[in-house]
Amino acid sequence: MTPASTPTSTARQRNTPRPHGRGVRVAPALCRRPIRRTMARRTLVRRTLVAVMTGLAALLPLAAGTATTAAAQQSVSQAPLSIPFETGSADIPTSGRRAVEDFARGLPDRTRVLVDAYATAAADAPPHAARRLALDRALAVREILSGAGIGPTRIELKVHGAAPDGPADRVDLDIRGAG
């Protein structure tokens, strides 16, 4: 190689564009503008699809669940059940047993039951005696409910001493909703 040909070859190398833009400068406005428009279109399309899918998802349960909703409203409107007990006893009367079984049959699936148990104890009894009696009553009602097909995770027990209002010795059953 001659020294005269060397500058010519380096001049050619500098002027030839290289792949992937290495060594070649392109005006930033020419390069970024189409990408910004494409990204804006993609974003707009995504947001539109999300809005449409969200709207459809909101409408589907209303159309598909009308019968289920009506059945749930009917059972939720069911009045709470109160079972009276004899003072000092945890034995459920026969009429109370039938009432609990009927209550359990009327519940839809996944509905939880709240069992509030109240009891009074004799004046000379220890302080925890009323709560222990109320617990025995709640457990007796829970046994009937589970025998009627209500799962143990769907039954919530609350044990109280003396009732703030109404009959002092009773167990109240109420619906808590889907669980």
CATH label of the domain that carries residue 114? 3.30.1330.60
pTM as predicted: 0.55
- Specify the pLDDT at position 83: 92
Residue 11 lies in a domain: no
Q: Report the SS3 class of residue 27.
A: coil
- Specify the pLDDT at position 136: 94
Mean pLDDT by 10 residues, the chain (179 residues): 53 55 56 59 70 57 44 51 90 92 86 91 84 93 92 91 84 79
Q: Are residues 47 and 119 in the same domain?
A: no
Q: What is d(CA 171, CA 141) in angstroms, rounded to the nearest whole number?
A: 8
Residues 111-158: tens digit of each pLDDT? 899 999 999 888 788 878 999 999 999 999 999 999 998 988 999 999
Residues 6 or more apart in contact with residue 85 via CB below 8 angstroms: 91, 92, 93, 96, 119, 137, 169, 170, 171
- The answer to whether 110 touches 78, Cβ cutoff 8 Å, is no
Q: Are residues 113 and 34 in the same domain?
A: no
What count of other Cβ atoms lies within 10 Å of the Cβ of residue 176?
Answer: 13
Picking from 11, 38, 64, the residue at the C-terminal end of a domain is 64
Residue 71 lies in a domain: no
Residue 160 lies in a domain: yes
Picking from 12, 36, 64, the residue at the C-terminal end of a domain is 64
Indicate the number of domains in the chain: 2
